[in-house]
Chain A
C-alpha cells in the first residue's frame, strides 16, 4: 500500500465554488505534511504546510485529522487560476498521485 493516497478527481467546479479533497496516509508516526501545486507537468511548488492546528492562507485551508489519518485541502471562492493538480507530501518524501481541479467560467 502506498504511504500516501489521494482521490485523483477530477473535480470540475464553477468559479466561486468551494472544493475540498483529502489525502490519506498510512504511517501514524508521520509528523509533517504539505500541499503542493503542479501546473501542466511543470515542477511542483509548495502551496502550504499542514499543521496539527490547521493552516489557512487566504482562500486555502489545510487540516490534519490524526485520528482518521488524513489531511484535507479546501479552496473557497475558486478562481480560474486555481485549476491545477494538487499533490500531498507525507512521510519520507512520499507524494500522493495528485488531485486534479478544473475551475470553469
Chain B
C-alpha cells in the first residue's frame, strides 16, 4: 500500500493563479482532510470529507475549494492564489473522525509570490 500520496511536492505560484493539490489514499478510508501548517501555528484544518460526495469546512476554509467524487481522491483547489496561502499543505485520511489514527501524506510546499 502506498498509503496517502500527495502531488506536487513543491509548487511556486504567482498571485492570482489557480492550481489543484492532489491527494489520494489506498486504504479505503472514509474520512479525508486537508491541513495547512505555518510556523508557530501548528496544523489548521481547511476542509474535510466524511465520504464520497460529502465535504465540510474546517477552521480556515476561505480561498480553498474541495470535492470528493471518489473514496480515494480528495483534491484541494486554490482558485486565486494569494501570498497568505504560502504554506505547507498536508492531506490525511482515517477510518473515523474521533478515536482513529490520522495517516498523513508527505505534504506539498507551496510558495505564492
Q: Does the CB pair B43–A92 fall under 8 Å?
A: no
Residues of B within 8 A of A44 (CB): 43, 90, 102, 104
Tell me, in angstroms, the Cα distance from A91 to B44 when the chains sit together: 13
Q: How large is the interface on A (under 10, 10 to 19, 20 to 34, 35 or more residues)?
A: 20 to 34
Q: Does the CB pair A32–B40 fall under 8 Å?
A: no
| A42/B42 contact (C-beta < 8 A), A31-B99, A93-B48, A93-B97 known | no
| Residues of A35-81 whose CB lies within 8 A of B | 36, 41-46, 49
The reply on B12 being an interface residue by CB < 8 A is no
The reply on A95 being an interface residue by CB < 8 A is yes
Q: How large is the interface on B (under 10, 10 to 19, 20 to 34, 35 or more residues)?
A: 20 to 34
Residues on A close to B: CB < 8 A?
6, 8, 31-32, 34, 36, 41-46, 49, 87, 89, 91-98
In angstroms, how far is the closest chain A Cβ from the Cβ of B97?
A: 6
Interface string of B81-113 (1 = CB under 8 A from A): 000000010100000011101101111000000
The reply on B41 being an interface residue by CB < 8 A is yes
